[in-house]
Amino acid sequence: MKILAIETSGQHAGVAIVDEYITIGEMTLNAKTGEKSWTHSEILMQGVSELFRLTGVNRSHIGYVAYSAGPGAFTGLRIGAATAIGLARGLGVPSVAVPTLDALAYNIFGGIDTVIPMMDARRGQVYFGIYRSNGQQLTLEGNYDALPVEEVLAKIPQGSSITVLGCGADAYKNEIQTIMPGAKFAPQNNNRQRAASIACRAAQMLSAGHNPATTKTELIYVRAPQAVRDLEAKNQ
């Protein structure tokens, strides 16, 4: 079962093809580095085409198209979802919406007790999920949310073994180290959203009985867009 995956929830745009949890090919590009800045919409389809060319995978062998469903950058999420759903329809296969924080947590899945992926949500908050590990799988405790990092860590008993990762963990590293000196930080090579992780998480969801055909496609925004919040504040 080959899965084409798209990740556009942050600055990095990524595409990957994974077969039975084995990455056949993956490309990741940062929109804000290098000699030219670009948007996800400018580079995404070029990346997909190049990935097929380099891997030699036949498009007819793709069984699913997975995409990062949020939380994350609103525009990036919509670009990724629209591209993935369009590709899935063109290929005649189902599309699978994968929660971004789930896939980010699985970047470092192992024997760790608690994994907390954090994405910078601006305005002093992080998007986060708290995942407990039993050595076999990660389980989300509670819901995806956006809170100040102090309130996130207040949910964790002191002395717990935790690993944090993501751009939110980087942005608030000093605060995390002050509140929980024993917190571990993921290595930089696994510290950002990856398309291959989206594909692997999609494969897990499908193996567990997830049926894309009966699932309503929705992006996970967690909180309203900034323009909506500003309008609500003005009206109040």
133-173: pLDDT as tens digits: 887 788 999 999 999 999 999 999 888 899 999 999 999 99
Residue 126 near residue 167 (C-beta atoms within 8 A): no
Beta strands in 87-187 (DSSP E): 95-98, 114-122, 125-133, 138-147, 162-165, 184-185
- What is the reported pLDDT for 224? 67
- What is the reported pLDDT for 230? 57
Residue 45 near residue 58 (C-beta atoms within 8 A): no
- The dihedrals phi and psi of 112, each to the nearest 5 degrees, come to -75, 140
Q: Residue for token digits 């935790």?
A: 162
- What is the reported pLDDT for 113? 81
- Cα–Cα distance, 61 to 154 (Å, whole number): 47
- Cα–Cα distance, 205 to 137 (Å, whole number): 12
What is this structure's pTM?
0.91
Bridge partners (DSSP) of residue 125 are 122
- What is the reported pLDDT for 103? 97
- Cα–Cα distance, 16 to 29 (Å, whole number): 12
**Mean pLDDT for all residues in the chain:** 91
- What is the reported pLDDT for 73? 92
Residue 171 near residue 126 (C-beta atoms within 8 A): yes
Q: Which residues have a Cβ under 8 Å from the Cβ of 53 and sit 6 or more positions away?
A: none
Residue 70 near residue 77 (C-beta atoms within 8 A): yes
124: left (phi over 0), alpha (psi -120 to 50) or beta: left
Residue 129 near residue 71 (C-beta atoms within 8 A): no
Computed from CA positions of residues 226, 232, 234, 236, in that sequence, does the dihedral angle turn out positive or negative? negative
98 has pLDDT over 60? yes
- What is the reported pLDDT for 225? 59
Tell me the average pLDDT across 73-79. 94
Model confidence band, residue 54 (pLDDT cutoffs 50, 70, 90): very high
Q: Residue for token digits 């290098």?
A: 34
End-to-end CA distance of the chain: 51
List the structure tokens of 41.
């919409």
Torsion of CA 218, 221, 227, 231, to 10 degrees: 90
